[in-house]
Amino acid sequence: METALTEHGRRSSWPGYVAAAAALGYAAPHFWWGAGIGATFPGDFAEAPHGTWEAAIGYGGMGVVAVFGALISLLLVHPRGRRIPARLLAVPAAVAAVGMTLWGFTYFALQYLLAADRVVSAPAFAAKDAHPQAAWGLFWYALFVVWGLALGLAARNRLRGKVRCCCA
């Protein structure tokens, strides 16, 4: 027996919306960092590059890529995304999901190894690791894990044909 939740497809489309929200949550600070606002920066913002091509690519470019990722996430679950073949959307999304999830989990594995004194931070990075703003890294890498897992689930649902949108 199907409930109203599954009849309208919300059960299978929520991962796409979570992935889009995570992507936009990643994009927004990149735009304000590019504008010179250091809020939530995971390190010493004063030492980060500003006014260079490196900064433009690192902040603006990554923000634009994340907005594009949000659009792809929405196309996986929105009726307009049905115009695009499922594999053309879902396979690259699944590859990106694996990469983002591994990237996020690797950060936490390294943080565990540092806390357990199994590894020692390189002298060049020790000051950066000790900066109070470095704690934001926990949030940003957790966002990568959430984004990767949600995107992977949305891609899987799209490939299996489980996405039924409530607005179709």
Indicate whether 150 belongs to any domain. yes
Q: Which one, of 158, 24, 21, 19, lies nearest residue 91 by Cα?
A: 158
> For 110-158, what is each residue's pLDDT tens digit?
889 988 989 888 877 776 777 777 788 889 999 999 999 999 999 999 9
**99 found inside a domain:** yes
In a domain, 77, yes or no: yes
**165 lies in some domain:** no
Nearest Cα residue to 129 out of 67, 43, 34: 43
State pLDDT tens for residues 64-108: 999 999 999 999 999 999 999 999 999 999 999 999 999 999 999
Number of domains present in the structure of the chain: 1
Question: Domain span at residue 97?
Answer: 10-159
pTM: 0.83
In a domain, 63, yes or no: yes
